[in-house]
Amino acid sequence: MRPQELNLLMVFDAIMTERSITRAAHRLSMTQPAVSNSVSRMRAAWKDELFVKDGRNIQPTLHAQNLWNQIRAPLTALTEAVDPKSFDPATAKRTFRIAANDIFVDMAWAELRCVIEREAPGINIHAVPYTIVNTDQVLEDAEVDMVIGVTGVISSTFRAEYMFAPIYICIMHHDHPLAKADLSLQEFADADHLLVSLSGDVTGYTDQVLLQHGLSRRVATTVNHFSSAANLVKRSNLICVIPISAVAKEIISGEISATKPPIEIMPQQISAIWHKRQDSDQGLVWLRDQLKRIISRNVKLETAQVMDSLCKSNPELCAGE
């Protein structure tokens, strides 16, 4: 490969990562006209438009996306072979794309941003919508650098690092007849339920457990963001089984009532998941370490505060523990 072609690939990789000519120029320490000139040469050499405008950003064509899927791993490997310790948070200029639901964005992004401003001012963090069903695809297609979500079955193509296992609670408004410690299984099954469904499915693990007891429930309402749940139950007769971290602030502040579900909800492990081609990516290692530290600490703190609040307001919930 001629040096000119390798230079074009490096510029191409920066544009694909940043989705912006301006940000790519900044990343490469080049002028914007120089990057635009490189794009013109790419289009002529590779006989494709490659990028189309999308507001202030740009979107790749199918040919560009397919090309990036092929060259990204070799380019990363080449960079690391030349300088395996090339990532320095203090000087790095890089954008990370992370698929995560709103629980983790609310829990970690503000603190992560403080770390970045203090230690890694050139780092950008972009949150991408997360659903359980698209984890493999977005990693395989290099649409994101990392996913924070349910671990599930991990193939040999991907890697995962455990973060925590959520604890589930049942929430409702204060005057709800089921706002009590001795909520029965039948009362639980007969209630109108709210389900947070990131995938759009109208059944969840709770339905599977109820079925084992010969019961079913009415999922009367679904939402696709955890942040919507507390407000909905405050203003309706819905109840909702939800991870404590999603409603910790509302429980601690006394905005909603909560009790233990009358069924055992086995926690699903939450992990950071990435493609094996980025195993040696020191930048991603740094980011994972920051997120694991922030999320693990905040989950422990929120869970302890919620349980303390529930025990004080309803000692029967904690009797015998």
Nearest to 243 by CA among 102, 135, 61: 102
Of the given ranges (2-6, 19-23, 197-201, 256-260), which has the lowest mean pLDDT? 2-6
Q: Give the domain range for residue 54.
A: 1-84
Same domain, 199 and 263: yes
Residue 62 tokens read as: 């199918």
Q: Are residues 211 and 257 in the same domain?
A: yes
Mean pLDDT lowest among 19-28, 84-93, 154-163, 246-255: 84-93
CA–CA gap between residue 7 and residue 10 (Å, rounded): 5
Over residues 66-91, the pLDDT tens digits come to 998 888 877 776 765 566 557 889 88
pLDDT of residue 71: 85
Last residue of a domain, one of 28, 57, 84: 84
Give yes or no: residues 180 and 257 share one domain.
yes
Is residue 150's pLDDT more than 90? no
Is residue 261 located within the same domain as residue 172? yes
73 with 160, same domain? no
Which pLDDT score is estimated for 239?
97
Do residue 245 and residue 179 come from a single domain?
yes
Domain count, the chain: 3
Residues 25, 40, single domain; the answer is yes
Q: Which pairing describes strands 168-172 and 257-259: parallel, antiparallel, or unpaired?
A: antiparallel
Burial of 64 (0-12, 13-18, 19+ CB in 10 A): buried
Q: Which of 40, 59, 84 is the last residue of a domain?
A: 84
Looking at the fold, whether 137 and 275 belong to one and the same domain comes out as: yes
**In a shared domain, residues 157 and 220:** no
Looking at the structure, tell me whether residues 143 and 174 fall in a common domain: no
Provide the residue count of the chain: 321
The residues facing 162 across adjacent strands are 271
pTM here is 0.74
Q: Are 251 and 118 in contact (CB under 8 A)?
A: no
Q: CATH code at 200?
A: 3.40.190.10
Distances (CA, A) of 216 to 143, 196, 202, 207: 38, 17, 13, 6
Q: Say if residue 134 is in the same domain as residue 102.
A: yes
- End residue of a domain, out of 235, 251, 267: 267
